[in-house]
Structure 1
């Protein structure tokens, strides 16, 4: 994905709808080139094409959420990808930043990726190394699997690193999630002897959601951006968590 693609995604995300003519004027390329860009971005789930325009997907799916703070999430994904070593098996949970991490790793044939996300598996279907998709109850909204079968699969697999998305964190509650079944999957991961990484932008900190995420076993590392408040940084490091700011 080039800089122009990122600019188009940002424009469509901010405005909701942008004409091909306007995109050509703003980016300084021909309308033919813009249409080619839009075809590629639509295949990636970043936007939808309608007659003469590009519009943001009107849904809660991962592809739609990837548009929000796209440039920042991409930098976080790049940082996380840099920590994956040749020969490793890595678990990538669902979520928009993790989906971008999967994109960053999609050219790596020297690693194995384990995921509960069918969306992420779809991003890796044509390139990269081996992909292991876990079984379980399919959640249509998130395109991920959850439930006892998913937990059983996790118990029978081993991996070097696990990248987890979060919905919220507060000093009084720790990490939290909107989804109870997703929490159960994450907690099964946290029980494994693996390096666990919470991968998220700083907007999630200071928020509280109903379900406790990893309440008993802390993450080994948090990768987030430098907008994270100083008091949150201090609270996380006081828990022995390695904090990486992008």
Structure 2
């Protein structure tokens, strides 16, 4: 009589564990406290869920791999806010003393823009994102240029031939790119070829390319379109990144910076 009850209890704990992971609780100690079990029990459960391909292990925890899904920007802004703030702080330290800066569309890049508005000034910022432009437009010392084009309703990013025309006349000391999916070997994944084309053109006009992506973007399914980036680009992510990320970045020639 006890074995079916035990198995049922384990299944229920696994489902509760998966729900916590989806909500952004990724560290073993936090998961154990939330479930009122020991860390060793959580590690054992994560081991089983990893073997079943239901989670991907990270340093000190795990994340749930997701199918590729483009969220509206308002929904995305509510997810992984602490991780995005940490990534923004780490990325801000990479901004050079002079030269034009490109800051992409997306909620992580908008977090960077808010950080830059408070800490840096006296230079040109170019963007294709409405939230990014709004974060910088009233900041002292910043001259803000938003690329013309068609506004995508989900990401609030601009695409199209007008973006291409503007980029032909610009160059950047550093470009910060957002992404819906990231793979060190493939580059950045996006919902459309239009968006990957913009990112490739921006990267070609920049002296240094930095991709900002929280750990959830490293564990999504295959994106419809991928942008190849110049050799030697940098990835800034958070401490919930997968265990094998550093080795994968090294093999692809990508510089990894882990925030927090």
1:100 matched residue in structure 2: 111
Instruction: Please show how residues 1-246 of structure 1 align to structure 2 within 5 Å.
Output: 60-107=71-118, 108-128=120-140, 129-170=142-183, 173-207=186-220, 208-214=222-228, 217-218=230-231, 220-246=233-259
Aligned-pair CA distance for 1:190 = 2.0
Aligned-pair CA distance for 1:157 = 0.2
Aligned-pair CA distance for 1:206 = 3.3
Secondary structure of the corresponding residue to residue 244 of structure 2: helix
CA RMSD of aligned residues (A): 2.1
Aligned-pair CA distance for 1:119 = 2.1
CA distance in 2, matches of 1:183, 1:172: 15
Secondary structure of the corresponding residue to residue 85 of structure 1: coil
Change (3 A) 1:154 1:140: same
Residues 147, 184 of structure 1: 8 Å contact kept: no
1:39 matched residue in structure 2: none
> Residue deviations 1:75-125, cap 9 Å, x none?
100110121133231101111100000000113322321001122111222
Aligned-pair CA distance for 1:60 = 4.5
Residues 197, 219 of structure 1: 8 Å contact kept: no
Gaps of 5+ in 2: 1-22, 24-69
CA distance in 1, matches of 2:186, 2:175: 22
CA distance in 1, matches of 2:192, 2:150: 14
Using structure 2 for the length normalisation, give the TM-score: 0.66
CA distance in 2, matches of 1:86, 1:118: 25
Change (3 A) 1:170 1:162: closer
Gaps of 5+ in 1: 1-13, 15-58
Residues 186, 213 of structure 1: 8 Å contact kept: yes
CA distance in 2, matches of 1:118, 1:182: 15
Instruction: Report the count of equivalent residues.
Output: 188
Using structure 1 for the length normalisation, give the TM-score: 0.70
